[in-house]
Structure 1
C-alpha cells in the first residue's frame, strides 16, 4: 500500500479526471488525499476520498473571454495573457504553501498535480527532499516544440516547418511579462529564475502523464521522454444516474446529437446551445440532448425534438450519440472519442482553440472557428458529419487506439518504475523530466 497526494486546480474539467484517478488509486488499496478548492470538497468527499481545501488565494480565478476584445488571434493572446496571470501565476504561492503543508504533515510516495496546479513549480525547484511529482495533462500537450506552433494559437502545424523562432517570439515578447512575473514570484520564495518557460514547467516533473493517446496530438520529433500517454481517464464511477423522466425515449431515436458548453464559459447559452437548438429544430430525424453544465443562464423555449438537462452521464449517453457539438472541453472531447463519436467544436477561450484544431487535424470532426456559430453553420456541419463517413471513421480510429491502452495500468507501471528508481538512487528524483 502506498500513500499519494492528488492536487487539482479548482476547475470542474480538471477536478473530475483527477478525482477519477484518486478514486481508482483508493480502489487499488492505496491511501489517497485530495487537495483542491473548497467548492469541490463535498463532491470529492462523496467519492470516499479524504479532501483538504486549500485557501481561497490558491484557487485562482478563471477568466471569462474579455468583452470587446479584438477578434481572432490578437484577442486570443490578450485573453491568454490574462488567463496565465489569473490561473497560473496568482495562485502559485498559496498553492505551494498548501501542498507543502500537506507534505509536511505526512510522507507520500508520489504527488499527482494537474498541469494548471502551478504550486508544484516551487516544489520542483526547491533544494529539499520531495516525493516524485507526476504532472497530469488535463489539457492538450502545451509543451514548446520546434514542430508545432506555440500553444494557444490554435494553429495546426505545417509539415516540415520549424517553429523555433515563433516559439521564441511568443515566450520572450508576447508573454515575456508573464515570464518575468514568474521569475519575481520564485525570487520571493528564494528560488528562480525559472529554468523553463511557464507552459513548459511539466518537463521539470518526474513524469508528465498526458490523458490522451498519441493519435490526438501533433507529431513531435523533440517530445521529452518523460511524457507518457495514458489514454483518457474514464469518469464513469462518479457519474449520476440517467435522467429517468425522458431517458427511455432515446431508445427510439434515429439520430442523436449532443450539445454542451461544458462546466465553464457557459454563462451565455446563446453562444452554442441556443444556435444548435435553433439549427436542428423541426428535424424529425434528429433528437438533441443539450447539457447546460449547471448554468443558470436563461435558455428560452426548447424544441419538441430536444431534451435539456444540467448534467448527463457520459458513460450512458455517448455510446448512443451520433454527433457531439461542444465548445471544446478537453475531458468531454476525450470521452466522446473513446466512444468513436465525431465532434463539432465551437470555442475560442482558454485551451479550446487548441482542442478544436486537434479535432480537425485528426479528421475526427469540424472546427467551426468561432464560439458563436450561426444556426446555419451548425446545421451545415451536422449534415456534413452525418453524410460524410470519413469523420466517423477517423473518430473510430482514435477510439480503437484508446481501447488498446488502459490508463490506470499505465499509471501503475509508471509509479512502479519511479518507486524502483527511488529505491536505487535515493530519495531525490531527477528534476529535468528525464528518466534516470
Structure 2
C-alpha cells in the first residue's frame, strides 16, 4: 500500500474534492495525510483523515472589479486573484510541504491546482516524490486553440490564439511573473520556467477532475493531463428530508439556486433576484441553498424553500434548471444528473466555468455576477422552453457516468509505484512538455 500526502488550498471548493480523494485512497488501504487550513480539520476527521495545518494566512477572499468593460474588469480581478491566491501563500505553503516531506517517506504528493507551494519543489532539481496536480477548476493551461484563461471567452474553431496568449504573459502579467520568479529565487529554487497559470505542466501528472466533453478541444494538450471525471461530493449519510419535501413531488417544475460556499457573503448577488424573478409563479418551486452564509435572505415568497445546505443526490434528480454562480464542483454535479444551468459569476474561475457551460450548450452564461430579476426570469424561460439545453446536459451526464475518478486516480498512482521520482514511461520529461512536445486532446 502507498503513503500519500494530499495538500489543498484552504478554500472549500478546493479542499472538499481533495479530501474526498484522500478519503477514497484511505478506504483502499493507503496511508494518507492532509495538508490544509486548520479550519478544515473536522472535515478531514469526518473522512478518518489526519490533517497537518498550514501556517495561518489571511483568508483568500472573493475579488471582483466593478468598473470598466468586462475584459478590463476580468484583467483587474485576475491580477488581484493571482497575487492573493497564487503568489502570497507560495512561500508558506512550500515551507509546510517541505516540513511534511521531511516527516515521512511519501510515495506521491497530490496538490490542488492553486497550491503553488509545490512549484519550488518541482523546479529545485532535488530528489522528490512524484507530484500530481489535481485540477479542481477548469484547465488554466495556455493553448493555441483557446483564448487566455480568465477572460471567459469561448474559443472559435480554427483560430490561433498564440499571439493573444503571448501578450497576456509578456505584457499584462509580466510583473506577476517576475514576482513568481523572485519568490522562487528567494527560496533557492531557481525560476519557474513557465507562465504562472501553466505551472501544472511541471508536475508528473495533471489529474483533471472533469471529462473531455466539458473542456475546450486542444490539439496541444500536454501528455501529462489525465481526465478523471468529476469528483463526487463527500460520502455522507443521507440527510432527513425537510418538511416541505412533498412540495417537490407535485409535478411542478423545480428551480434550484445557489451561491455556493465561498462567494456568498452577499446573497443579493443571485439568490434575492432569483426569488424576486420567480416568487410569483405558480408553476415553479424554488429551492435555495445559502451555503452557510451569514447574510439574511429576507422574506420568502410562498413557492420558495431555503436550506443552508442541500443534498444533491436527493435534490438534483428532481430539478429542471439550476441557477448558480458557477462553482466547478456544483456545476458538474448538476451536469452529472443532466440538469441544464444558468450561470452568473465574475470572480475566480467562474467566468471560465460559465463559458464552458455555454460552449457545450448545457446552459446559459449570464456574463455578470449581479443579474437583474428580469434577466434571470428570461433565462429560466429560455432554458425551460428549449429542450436542446437539457439534451446537451444529458450528453455530458452520459460521459460522466462512464468515468471512474477514484479508479483512474488509483491507476495513475500505481504507475509510479513506491519509488520516489520515477516518471511514467509514456510521460515525456517536463522539459519536453514545456518545450511543446504535446498531443492531441482526447
Q: Distance in 2 between matches of 1:425 and 1:55?
A: 31
Q: How far apart are 1:178 and its partner, in Å?
A: 0.7
Question: Are the structure 2 counterparts of residues 385 and 44 from structure 1 closer, same or farther at C-alpha, using a change threshold of 3 Å?
Answer: same
Report the counterpart of residue 62 of structure 1 in structure 2.
Answer: 61
Deviations 1:328-348 (A, max 9, x none): 111100111111110000111
Report the counterpart of residue 155 of structure 2 in structure 1.
Answer: 157
RMSD: 1.9
Deviates more, 1:202-211 or 1:308-317: 308-317
Contact 1:236 1:315 in 2 (8 A): no
Report the counterpart of residue 168 of structure 1 in structure 2.
Answer: 166
Q: Distance in 2 between matches of 1:423 and 1:189?
A: 21
Report 1:31-46 matches (<5 A): 31-46=31-46
Q: Distance in 2 between matches of 1:60 and 1:178?
A: 20
**Counterpart of 1:341 in 2: which secondary structure?**
coil
Q: Distance in 1 between matches of 2:432 and 2:236?
A: 32
Report 1:254-273 matches (<5 A): 254-273=252-271
Q: Distance in 2 between matches of 1:297 and 1:419?
A: 48
Report 1:192-207 matches (<5 A): 192-207=190-205
- The count of residues paired between Structure 1 and Structure 2 equals 431
Report the counterpart of residue 187 of structure 2 in structure 1.
Answer: 189
Deviations 1:262-291 (A, max 9, x none): 112211111110111111112121111101
Q: Distance in 2 between matches of 1:212 and 1:239?
A: 25
Contact 2:129 2:421 in 1 (8 A): no
Q: How far apart are 1:421 and its partner, in Å?
A: 8.0
Q: How far apart are 1:240 and its partner, in Å?
A: 6.4
Q: Name the TM-score, length of structure 1 as normaliser.
A: 0.95
Q: Distance in 2 between matches of 1:84 and 1:196?
A: 15
Question: Are the structure 2 counterparts of residues 423 and 262 from structure 1 closer, same or farther at C-alpha, using a change threshold of 3 Å?
Answer: closer
Report the counterpart of residue 47 of structure 2 in structure 1.
Answer: 47
Report 1:163-312 matches (<5 A): 163-238=161-236, 241-312=239-310
Q: How far apart are 1:417 and its partner, in Å?
A: 1.4
List gaps (5 residues or longer) in structure 2. Answer: 438-442
Report the counterpart of residue 317 of structure 1 in structure 2.
Answer: 315
Q: How far apart are 1:431 and its partner, in Å?
A: 4.0
Contact 2:129 2:420 in 1 (8 A): no
Q: How far apart are 1:425 and its partner, in Å?
A: 7.0
Contact 1:96 1:122 in 2 (8 A): yes
Deviates more, 1:247-256 or 1:165-174: 247-256
Q: How far apart are 1:247 and its partner, in Å?
A: 2.9
**Counterpart of 2:132 in 1: which secondary structure?**
strand
Deviates more, 1:417-426 or 1:83-92: 417-426
Q: Distance in 1 between matches of 2:432 and 2:29?
A: 28
**Counterpart of 1:396 in 2: which secondary structure?**
helix
Q: How far apart are 1:384 and its partner, in Å?
A: 1.1
Contact 1:207 1:433 in 2 (8 A): no
Matched, 1:15 2:15: yes
Deviates more, 1:260-269 or 1:195-204: 260-269
Q: How far apart are 1:210 and its partner, in Å?
A: 0.4
Contact 1:340 1:396 in 2 (8 A): yes
Q: How far apart are 1:63 and its partner, in Å?
A: 3.6
Q: Distance in 2 between matches of 1:266 and 1:356?
A: 17
Report the counterpart of residue 146 of structure 1 in structure 2.
Answer: 144
Deviates more, 1:39-48 or 1:182-191: 39-48
Report the counterpart of residue 125 of structure 1 in structure 2.
Answer: 123
Report the counterpart of residue 116 of structure 1 in structure 2.
Answer: 114
List gaps (5 residues or longer) in structure 1. Answer: none
Deviations 1:347-405 (A, max 9, x none): 11111110110000000000111111111111111111111110000000000011111
Contact 1:242 1:313 in 2 (8 A): no
Question: Are the structure 2 counterparts of residues 93 and 342 from structure 1 closer, same or farther at C-alpha, using a change threshold of 3 Å?
Answer: same
Report the counterpart of residue 335 of structure 1 in structure 2.
Answer: 333
Report 1:351-390 matches (<5 A): 351-390=349-388
Report the counterpart of residue 98 of structure 2 in structure 1.
Answer: 100
Report the counterpart of residue 440 of structure 2 in structure 1.
Answer: none
Report the counterpart of residue 78 of structure 1 in structure 2.
Answer: 76
Q: Name the TM-score, length of structure 2 as normaliser.
A: 0.94
Q: How far apart are 1:422 and its partner, in Å?
A: 5.9
Contact 1:210 1:231 in 2 (8 A): yes
Q: Distance in 1 between matches of 2:423 and 2:122?
A: 17
Deviates more, 1:7-16 or 1:294-303: 294-303
**Counterpart of 2:256 in 1: which secondary structure?**
strand
